[in-house]
Structure 1
Amino acid sequence: MAGDNAFKVRLDAAISRHNKGMQGDRTAVKDAFAQLSELRAIDSNHALLEAYYGSTLTLMARDADKLLDKADKSQQGLASLDRAISLAPGNAVIRLIRANVCLRLPENFFGRTQTAIDDFNDLLARHQRQPDLLTPIQYKQVIQGLATAYENTGKLTEARTTRQRLTQPPDDAIQRGKGASKDGKKPKVRKSK
């Protein structure tokens, strides 16, 4: 069922509402939660759906008035994000979602900054082996998120070293050398006759 086009269209609409909710739209958060809950009833093992569901729960926690509701929704959201990772541990989007949620939660209440550090480092290690894993914008977000996570845990040297990566050329360009092609070989220069 999760593979059909109607399911995908509904999931895309829910993700769009989730993204509006991330910008502060409380109505969009409620809409996304309702849509994702309905889709979860159809396919409870869809990893990407589970990740957005978990992220939406943490947005609901952000918007909750009562402290107990904030804590409960955050814990439920984290459980869903962890479940999404267990369903698809190699999915970069899911790992990026969890890393960013864990980064934004207060460390003194949830203790999940190390999860963000682990997820960001996992993404960077895999991106080094597979350079098209992250878009340039995602790569920058991962570097910035990792540096912030290090700062939040008092690891200032690691944060500084991580931030320096933003000013360096991509790893694959360094390995190839200036003027080299993607296979690492210098281009052949034709001599004119």
Structure 2
Amino acid sequence: MLGLAASLLFVAPFTVNANPNNETLSIYNQAAQGDEDLVDVAYEQLNATLEKEGATPLTLVYLGSTETLMGRDAFLPWNKMKFVEKGLATIDKSLHLLSDFETPIHEQERIQGLPESYLTRAMAAVTYSSLPDMFNHFERGYDLFIALLAEDNFRQQHFAATSWVYRYAIEAAIRAEDMKQAKEWLAEMETQDDSNIETMTAKALVEKAVSQS
């Protein structure tokens, strides 16, 4: 029996599912910033990663976010709804899978400077909080930001890798009319690096919101 078990282990080794590569994430980032021609390219590459490597929380959250971008760019209203709702369902699968993710932070793969679980949560928060109110996911996104930015391990990550997360969180706080939280996050950013482009952008956003209040 031991020999049989050993032979089965040999022919069916344990494999770790792979996350999207840097090229795919770069294409996604350009698509998210408004390059509509790259949305379908990002979608195809993320699906290829999913089919080849299997599902990871990070692959699913980027795929779901890309599907919401397809909704953003769709011409017909019902197609906008269809793509965004599909994207939200995919992100829900990502967060469900992440809830069973037991790899310690210090052992996780770093993607774009962040442990994969932190990047997954940040992307879910950004996507949820960026959607129009009609999709009823803003509060969930804001809650994800609040939980993530309160974690000591997250705050100890390199600021060059987390600064964009803070900036999106501040945008969400302003939208939630939670200026106290926005100012607290900005103060933390300024303590970390007041010359960082994300810090300066966040400061301008807060100052504009205060002037309009």
TM-score normalized with structure 1 length? 0.72
Q: Which residue of 1 aligns with 2:189?
A: 166
Give percent identity, aligned residues only: 24
Q: CA deviation at 1:105?
A: 0.8
Give 1:167 deviation, angstroms.
2.7
Give the corresponding residue for 1:81: 91
Structure 2 unmatched runs, 5+: 1-13, 102-116, 194-213
Is the 8 Å Cα contact of residues 51 and 84 (structure 1) preserved in structure 2?
Answer: yes
Aligned counterpart for 1:112 among listed residues 137, 144, 148: 137
Structure 1 pair 61/135, CA: closer, same or farther in 2 (3 Å)? Answer: farther
Matched ranges for 1:10-159 at <5 A: 11-89=21-99, 91-106=117-132, 108-126=133-151, 128-129=152-153, 131-132=155-156, 134-159=157-182
Runs of 4+ aligned residues of structure 1 deviating over 6 Å after TM superposition are none
Native 8 Å contact 2:148 2:154 kept in 1 = no
Pair member with larger Rg: 1
> 1:24-69 CA deviation, whole Å, 9 max, x = no partner?
2222111111222233234553221111111110111111111111
Give the conservation status (yes or no) of the 8 Å contact 1:57–1:74: yes
Q: Secondary structure at the match of 2:75?
A: coil
Instruction: Specify every segment of 5 or more residues in structure 1 that has no aligned partner in the other structure, as ranges.
Output: 171-193
Contact 1:11 1:36 in 2 (8 A): no
SS across alignment from 1:87: helix
Count of equivalent residues: 164
Alpha carbons of structure 1 residues 82 and 137: separation in structure 2 relative to 1, 3 Å: farther
